[in-house]
Amino acid sequence: MDAIKTYVSQGAVNAQIDQLLAGEKILFCCYSRLMATLWVRSERGRHSGSGLMPGHLTGSCTTFNEGLDFCLSKDPTLLIVTQLLEEGSGLDLVNAVKEANPHLPTLLFLQHNNLPLFQEAIKTHSDGIVLESEMGSGHVISAIKKVVNGGMYLEPLIAQELAGSSPSRNPGLTTRELEVMEYVVCGLNDREIGQAVYLATDTVKYHLKQVFAKLGVHNRTRAAICLVLMGLVPPPKPLFP
């Protein structure tokens, strides 16, 4: 069962997603024109109003060029994209979008489960990466919640495969900096990290800036992935045993 079919068919999941996405402007890009149309129609049917699109949707498309044009012209606040597209690649789309707008939150669904694909997916700097095969287990809700609230989400099964795959020495990160990054890997935003380790949010931001400088990266997602690959921070634990 793919990501789109699961989303359209699960009412209880949809209700939770509706709450999470209130106020968002979503671009949905997938590999099937039929499923893209069904997704939009499903959204229209669950929301009041006479517009062609529900308020939280910017658009729905199936190709790389359409997705990039939408992102550049419609200013979405969230991009949800699948690995396979009707034309082009979802990974290439995330790469292009992030180059144009590094701060646009993105959620990438992978169809295949293999380490080389995971390694390519993390290079996109997508804020969330989820396996379609894990849909229905609670990962989609967790991923969307983390991404729209400024966190990151790397599905535990993916993170476990990647953990320690590029071992390296600690580039000078302190114990506190590594502790903060453990929470980043688990998807917490700055405020939530501060509450967990009893630090002011500004202090958390300071530690993150120090981490970015030492790793030579520019965002929390890239920093977290680097540390998981290096084996310096453990991957997030599975949601369920």
**Residue 24 or residue 232, greater confidence:** 232
Q: Are residues 152 and 203 in the same domain?
A: no
**Cα distances (Å, whole numbers) of residue 142 to 128, 132, 137, 148, 173:** 10, 14, 10, 10, 28
What is the model's pLDDT at position 148? 84
From 162, 186, 209, the end of a domain falls on 162
- Looking up residue 88, the CATH number of its domain turns out to be 3.40.50.2300
Domain assignment of residue 169, yes or no: no
- Residue 239 inside a domain? The answer is no
Q: What is the pLDDT of residue 69?
A: 95
238, part of any domain: no
Q: Report the percentage of the chain scoring pLDDT > 90.
A: 42
218 lies in which domain range?
175-230
Whether 225 maps to a domain, the answer reads yes
Return the pLDDT at 24: 78
β-sheet bridge partners, residue 125: none
C-beta separation of 160 from 235 below 8 A: yes
| Burial of 172: CB neighbours in 10 Å, binned 0-12, 13-18, 19+ | exposed
Q: Is the pLDDT of residue 1 over 70?
A: no
For residue 237, being part of any structural domain is answered with: no
Average pLDDT over residues 35-60: 57
Q: Based on the domain organization, do 158 and 185 belong to the same domain?
A: no
Whether 217 has a pLDDT exceeding 70, the answer reads yes
The 10s digit of each residue's pLDDT in 60-106 is 889 999 999 999 998 899 999 999 999 999 999 999 999 999 989 99
**Segment 183-212 mean pLDDT:** 94
Q: Is residue 168 part of a domain?
A: no
pLDDT of residue 233: 92
What pTM, to 2 d.p., does this model score? 0.77
Residue predicted with more confidence, 91 or 219: 91
**How high does pLDDT run on average in the chain?**
82
How far apart CA 164 and CA 161 sit, in angstroms, is: 8
CA 3, chain centre distance (Å):
14
Q: Do 187 and 69 belong together in one domain?
A: no
- Report the CATH number at residue 205: 1.10.10.10
Closest CA to 127 of 161, 167, 81: 81
Per DSSP, the three-state class of 57 is strand
**The tokens 């009041």 sit on which residue?**
48
pLDDT of residue 7: 47
111 within domain boundaries: yes
Q: How many domains does the chain have?
A: 2
pLDDT of residue 53: 47
With 80 as the cut, is the pLDDT of residue 50 above it? no
Give the amino acid at 119. Q
Q: Is the pLDDT of residue 219 over 90?
A: no
Q: Residue 190: what pLDDT?
A: 93
* Structural domain ending residue among the three candidates 162, 196, 222: 162
**What pLDDT was estimated at residue 52?**
46
Indicate the residue among 111, 136, 162 that finishes a domain: 162
| pLDDT given at position 65 | 96
pLDDT tens column, 147-166 = 888 888 888 888 888 888 88
